[in-house]
Amino acid sequence: MAIAVAAVVLLAASCIALFLRVRALRREAGRLGERERGFRDALWASNQRYWDFHVPTARLRYLVARHDQRGTDHDFSSEQADPAAVIHPDDLPAVVDRMHRYVAGETSEFSSEHRVRADSPAGSRGGWVWIRARGRAVEHHAEGSVLRVAGTSLDIDRNRAVERENRIASEVLRSMNEAVAVLDEHFRFLSVNPAFTRITGYTAEEVTGRGAEILDSLQHEPASGRGVREGVAREGRWSGELWQRHGSGEEFLCAIEAATVSGTAPHGERMYVVMLSDITLQKRADEELRYLANFDSLTNLPNRSLLAERLSRAIVRARREGSRAWRCCSSISTASRTSTTRWDTRPATASCAPSPSACSRRLAMARPWRAWPATSSP
């Protein structure tokens, strides 16, 4: 009887232990299932694809998300693919080389950016798309060699296009002859191009974080620079010419173009892009050409071109105001003969001076002109 009771108790204890074991296994399986669902949901939400590469057979296995017709639910299925049928032929040799280097232990992880077919399990759109694949060994042979490599792939086709545009813009800025600076909303320097250092004498390290007032010239009032910056902040754009101060303390004339750049978000950060061109030599050359065109190089006196310009201005002003313009004509024979023929150091005599009658006739011709009323503005 005692043996039977002991057997019943032992059987009951075994059943209880088995029940507890089964319940623990179910709980563990439930936790593993939740983790797997979380992992799959994270892959689906981040638009990544899980892949598994079997090294001996060189076969790929993908975990692919399948969406229902309404697009409100998704499920995952496993598919296999041949790497040569998925990867772009131009990129396949480089991908294979990176995998061999990783399996040989030359790199710490497998990483590659290459094109795959968009209709393959790795792709998400039509045509060829760029992906970034990363992975590590998850299973080894008994002797320690890599058996399986697993990882994720991310569609970077759009990001790659944006990066290409950013590289082009960066190269354009670096190759420009004009100085370009980016300032924050408080007009502090964020970045500058190499031409900025060449024109202003300040390196990127010297101006980053400092205000734009370090370039303000002493030839302008302190409020002038502040007014320009306030105008840019208020109007969104400003252009003009200002004197600026070089890093060495010298002054130079600049043609400045400033514009506001706002962020894409509703309350995005506001920045300002400023382009400066040193026009000191150009202005100096323009002034010299203007002087040579309007003044005599021998006597430094105004010439006929300047006289005609001033006379036309006076006539236009008289038309507009309804007043009179006077013209006085005179001729100095001695000075004319001296400047057009030769230098003459002899004192002027009565024979070379104009006669009184000639002077009287010329003064009589210098009568006033009555300006007619203006009928239209020039």
* 227-279: pLDDT as tens digits: 889 999 999 999 998 899 998 889 999 999 999 987 655 556 789 999 999 99
> Phi and psi dihedrals of 221, rounded to 5?
-70, 150
- Secondary structure of residue 277 in the 3-state scheme: strand
CATH of the domain at 271: 3.30.450.20
42 and 141 together in one domain: yes
Give the chain's domain count.
Answer: 3
191 and 264 together in one domain: yes
pLDDT of 331 strictly over 70: no
274 and 182 together in one domain: yes
Query: What are the angstrom distances between the C-alpha of 72 and each of 66, 67, 76, 215?
Result: 11, 8, 14, 58
Greater confidence (314 vs 351) lies with 314
192 and 152 together in one domain: no
What is the domain range of residue 103? Answer: 38-157
Residue 298 covered by a domain: no
Residue 165 covered by a domain: no
228 and 332 together in one domain: no
Residue 26 CB neighbours (<10 A)? 10
47 and 145 together in one domain: yes
pLDDT at 68: 53
pLDDT at 170: 86
- Across 27-36, 71-80, 175-184, 302-311, least confident range: 71-80
Strands, E, within the chain: which ranges?
Answer: 48-54, 59-67, 74-81, 110-117, 128-140, 146-155, 179-183, 189-192, 237-245, 251-262, 270-278
Mean pLDDT of 36-49: 68
Residue 295 covered by a domain: no
Residue 45 covered by a domain: yes
227 and 327 together in one domain: no
Domain edge (last residue) among 103, 129, 157: 157
pLDDT tens-digit map of 199-231: 999 999 999 999 999 998 888 887 888 888 999
